[in-house]
Structure formats: C-alpha cells, structure tokens
Amino acid sequence: MSKGLRKGLTSYGDAGFSLFLRKAFIKAMGYSDDALDRPIVGITNTGSDYNPCHGNMPALVEAAKRGVMLAGAMPMVFPTISIHESFAHPTSMFLRNLMAMDTEEMIRAQPMDAVIVIGGCDKTLPAQIMAAASVDLPTVVVPVGPMVVGHHKGEVLGACTDCRRLWSAHRAGDIDEEEIGEVEGRLAPSVGTCMVMGTASTIACMTEALGLSLPMSATVPAPHAERVRIAEASGRRAAEMARTGGPRPSEILTPAAFRNAQVVLQAIGGSTNGIVHLTAIANRTPHKIDLDSFDAIGRAVPVLVDLKPSGDHYMEHFHHAGGMPKLLQQLGTLIDLDAPTVAGGTLRDVVAAAEEVPGQTVIRSPTDPIKPVGAVAVLHGNLAPRGAVIKHSAATPALLQHTGRAVVFESTADMAARIDDPDLDVRADDVLVLRNTGPKGAPGMPEAGYLPIPRKLGRQGVKDMVRISDARMSGTAFGTIVLHITPESADGGPLALVRTGDMIRLDVAARRIDMLVEDAELARRRAALGAPAEPAWAARGYARLYWASVLQADEGCDFDFMRREP
C-alpha cells in the first residue's frame, strides 16, 4: 500500500506526473527530499479567534509537530472547521456533522499515514472521532484540556455550572448588574474547556476510556506545561503508528471499548450529551449503543468522581487526584482492562501506572461513592416511545417522582416571550414543557432544555422544577430535567400532543415519563395535527441536507447516510 506523499495521488491520468507535480509544489515551501520521503502524520488545526476553548491550539500543534519529528516522521498541519458552543448559530450541534464530514474528507483527500486530531469544545472531539472512525486511519486524539478555576468573593467558580447558578440569582434579583458583570470576567480565567464535568470534560474522559488518547490526556488543565508534553508524546506515538500502520480505530473501538466508555460516563457524573455523541461514534463502526443496556450500566455503576454539577470539585482537582487512570483502577471489574489503547498496550497497563495520591477525596471508591448509581437514567413512556434521558445525579431527589400540570411552550421564542410574564399561570409543582427544540425542530437540538425558572417563582425561592423537552442540556447544568424526548415533536413525536393543563408523571425509579391523557384523546389530537411541514430555514445548502438527513437523538443525530451497517 502506498505511503507518504505517494498516498492518494491527485488524478491527472498519469501517476508519475501526479507525484512529480505534488513534490514540485510542496518543495516550494522549502522541504527537502529527506523530509518528504518520511512517513507523514497529519495534524488538525482547529484554532479560531471564535473558539477560546482552543486558545492553546498553537502550542499544542507545535508540540505535536515536535514529537512527530523527534520520532523521525514528517508532520503536516491542516485546518478544519472549528466549533465553539457560544459562537455557533443556530447551535453547535447543527454544525457537528458538518465538522465531521469536513474532517473526514480532509483526512481522506490529503496524504497522511496517521493523524492527530486536536480539539476540545463540546462538539469538536465527537466530530473528529466520528471522522476518524469512518476513515480508519491510525489516530491519536489530543484534547485541549480544561481551563483552571475562577474566584469571586472567596468562592471558587467554574464555567459553566456556576454561571447558571449565578445567572439565576441575577434573574431573581439577588445579584445586581455590577456584580454579574464582575462574575462575567471571572468565570473563565484561562483558555480551555469548561472545568466542570460538562460535555467537553465528559467526551475527553470517554475518549481516554475508549483508548484513543494517551493516559492523563482528559484532565491536564489547558494552561499547564504537562498538556504541551502530552501533545509532544502524542506526536511521537502517532509517528510510530504511521510507520507500523496501526493500531487503527477499528482495532480500538471494540464492543468492550464502547461499554467502558458508558461505564465511565455514568461514573463521572457525565453529560447527557455524552450518550448522543457516543451513539454517533458507534454508528460509524459495526457496533451500536443500546439505550436499555446503557441504563442497566447506570444501575450498576456508582458516581465516583466528586465534580460539579453532581459534586463539589473541578477538573484540575480530578487531575491532581490521579485522573482517569485512578478512576479506572477504582472501577475495578466494571472495566474491561484488556481493551487496547493507542499507547500500544491495554487499559491494564494504564491502571497499573495509576498514581496514588494520599488523602485525595475527589475520586471515591465504590464503597464510598458520591451517588450509589450512575449519573444518567433512560426513560420510556407514552411521551418518549424511543426514550428520553435525565441526569438524576444532578437533580432534586424529591422531584424524581412527581406528577404535575403541564405548562407548554411552543418554541424557545415562545418561552423567552412568556417565561417571565408576571401573569403566566404557573406554580412551583407544575411541569414546564418545551417543544420544537429537537434535531429538526429548532433546528440543531439546542441546549435549551435547561428551562429557566419563571422569574416570579425564582423570587419566591423556587430553585428547581421538573422540566421536559426534546432539546439537549449543557452537561454543566443541574436540575430535574428530562431531555432528548424521542421522537421529537417536529418529527411527529407525542410531545407535540401535550397541552397546557395536561397532567404529566415522572417516575425515575420506574424509568417512566408519561402524560396522563387517554389514548382516544391523544388519537384525536394526532389526527388534527397533520404531517410536519418543511421549514423555511431548510430551503438550501447544508440546512437542506441537515433537514432531510438528520437522525433522532437515540441514533446519535448523525446523518442517515453516514451510518455504517453492522
């Protein structure tokens, strides 16, 4: 098989001419024949002025290049799309599949024998791993790392769990404009991803558990020198993989690896977004994620990592307590330690090298867990025939079995217009319902599931309510919130049938979410509803492709034509 510059020659009808022309152009950049005759490691550059999470990208790219060259291979850096949560309209999830396609096609189109993908902000690592799984070229994943903690009035702050809590206090009138402005400048004190167990941290931890990144890659803070050294070590390892041809993602992403990732998601108090992304990654392989099996894992795996929003600490504390190797050690037989990793051995080797940190309490043992069962539960019922999820580790225990009256919002715009209306007919024991916020309805399944507490209730001291939607929620958020209701309302799901005043019952112990409306009445409502119409936003371009092809949350929200059949 062709390697290096001879790989994937541009079609001019003459292979010799194609190689001659390729070398002629690349020599314009000053490369020698010695450099061009070596194995090539491609390195993605997802740096962007719109992506502060990736603010350390230049340093990581240079370190990865250094590692590749120290190992005798040739690094070639190339750009791809970069997505930041707060700078992506309409949502970052809308663009995840575009980034996955872009990354996949650039890896396929350009000559490289291995690839290093560097990313971190919520949708970037999933997109890159989806691409890597489809291309099946030897791949090392380098997360950019979490930011360090902030401080305000003697309190440790973390983006973005504390940003939600403090913003709620501001909405309730407890924090004035001047102070919330001060908080704004202190929540994110460095580059890097959110330092709580949000989606970015969840994906980084699952990536390490999958075996796609080097040990400790998930937890080293973004500004630390150790983060740069990991990038260099990843470059060295990628060069070795370029030379030997493996291991490839297909050798790493086994059923055992996917189960390990699900165990870790539950044990870290991970983001509900994690299961959507893991499903999309698995669907690029012959293996699949079963939601009922994921729920069964959650019943058997305790939450062991004491991080916000399920606990009290932050990613840098998780790192200093021993990081993922120590967590995998604590999980014991719940983890398949014979699963291979890109480091060249197995997770057994990783666990054997785990650091012992005397007195640390961030990574607990199974006999002293943060929560006795895992972070995420899967619900079914007449509201969610194909499933919904709740991060019950971050919910109010008293609300996990609750029946209340529905207060329905038709869209995020409707919610924004009415949620703070003093005349809104809403009580603390009601169930807030938001629809038309799924993959097609929003579009892009925004992180709108964290419906704000109506202002008049917030001022009465109400901190949490049962809230349900077909949207997603940031992994940094907390509350009794049912998400990913599938099928979504815009695709004809039963959430479209709920009316204000209907009674809704949540029973997490029984894994149920139901509206207490007779089947005959639901049938009448469905008949009156009609078929979903194509929205105006889907008229052209990528939006049209998205509307026509996006799958539901239980299938990972990937495009239907990107799945690999078993």
Euclidean distance between CA atoms 88 and 93, whole angstroms: 9
Question: Do the beta carbons of residue 473 and residue 483 sit within 8 Å?
Answer: yes
Retrieve residue 485's tokens.
């209701």
pLDDT value of position 104: 98
pLDDT value of position 532: 82
Residue 360: name the closest of 198, 219, 511 by CA.
Answer: 219
Q: Which of 109-113, 161-165, 210-214, 527-531 has the lowest mean pLDDT?
A: 161-165
What SS3 state is found at 515? strand
Question: Which stretch of DSSP H or E encloses residue 231?
Answer: helix 225-244
Q: What totals of helices (H) and strands (E) does the chain contain, helices first?
A: 20, 14
Question: Do the beta carbons of residue 242 and residue 176 sit within 8 Å?
Answer: no
What SS3 state is found at 48? coil
pLDDT value of position 27: 96
pLDDT of 255 > 90? The answer is: yes
Residue 310 pLDDT class (50, 70, 90 cuts): confident
**pLDDT tens digit string along 453-511?**
999 999 999 999 999 999 998 876 789 999 999 999 999 999 999 999 999 999 999 99
What angle separates helix 323-331 from helix 199-210, to the nearest 10 degrees?
70
Side chain identity at residue 97, one-letter code: N
Q: Which residues pair with 114 in a beta bridge?
A: 41
pLDDT value of position 44: 98
Q: Edge-to-edge strand order for the sheet containing 40-45? A: 74-79, 40-45, 114-119, 139-143
What angle separates helix 255-267 from helix 199-210, to the nearest 10 degrees?
140
Question: Do the beta carbons of residue 175 and residue 214 sit within 8 Å?
Answer: no
What average pLDDT does range 72-86 have in this prediction?
A: 97
Concatenate the DSSP letters of all residues of 373-410 into one string: S-SEEEEEETTEEEEEEEEGGGS-GGGSEEEEEEEEES
What average pLDDT does range 130-150 have in this prediction?
A: 97
Provide the 8-state DSSP code for 467: E
For strand 139-143 and strand 114-119, is the pairing parallel, antiparallel, or unpaired? parallel
pLDDT value of position 531: 82
End-to-end alpha carbon distance in the chain: 26
pLDDT of 311 > 90? The answer is: no
Question: Do the beta carbons of residue 449 and residue 474 sit within 8 Å?
Answer: no
What average pLDDT does range 536-551 have in this prediction?
A: 96
Within 271-383, strands assigned E span 376-381
Euclidean distance between CA atoms 565 and 85, whole angstroms: 31
Residue 168 pLDDT class (50, 70, 90 cuts): confident
pLDDT value of position 500: 98
> The tokens 């020599």 sit on which residue?
27
Nearby residues of 359 by Cβ (< 8 Å), 6 or more positions away: none
Q: Of how many residues is the chain composed?
A: 566
pLDDT of 173 > 90? The answer is: no
Q: Quick check: bond before 443 cis, omega within 30?
A: yes
Other CB atoms within 10 Å distance of the CB of residue 320: 16
Other CB atoms within 10 Å distance of the CB of residue 20: 12
What distances in angstroms separate CA 512 from CA 296, 379, 433, 492, 502, one per listed residue? 15, 5, 16, 20, 16
**pLDDT tens digit string along 187-213?**
999 999 999 999 999 999 999 999 999
Residue 199: name the closest of 98, 120, 127 by CA.
Answer: 120
Provide the 8-state DSSP code for 550: B
Question: Which stretch of DSSP H or E encloses residue 78?
Answer: strand 74-79
**pLDDT tens digit string along 115-139?**
999 999 999 999 999 999 999 999 9
Provide the 8-state DSSP code for 182: H
Spell out the long-range contacts of 526-534 with Cβ–Cβ below 8 A and sequence spacing 24 or more.
526/497, 529/492, 529/496, 529/497, 531/492, 532/440, 532/490, 532/491, 532/492
Euclidean distance between CA atoms 336 and 66, whole angstroms: 33
Residue 506: name the closest of 411, 359, 397 by CA.
Answer: 397
What average pLDDT does range 377-386 have in this prediction?
A: 98
pLDDT value of position 477: 75
Question: Which stretch of DSSP H or E encloses residue 116?
Answer: strand 114-119
Q: Quick check: bond before 557 cis, omega within 30?
A: no
Euclidean distance between CA atoms 547 and 556, whole angstroms: 15
pTM of the model: 0.96
pLDDT of 164 > 90? The answer is: no
Residue 566 pLDDT class (50, 70, 90 cuts): low
Question: Do the beta carbons of residue 64 and residue 75 sit within 8 Å?
Answer: yes
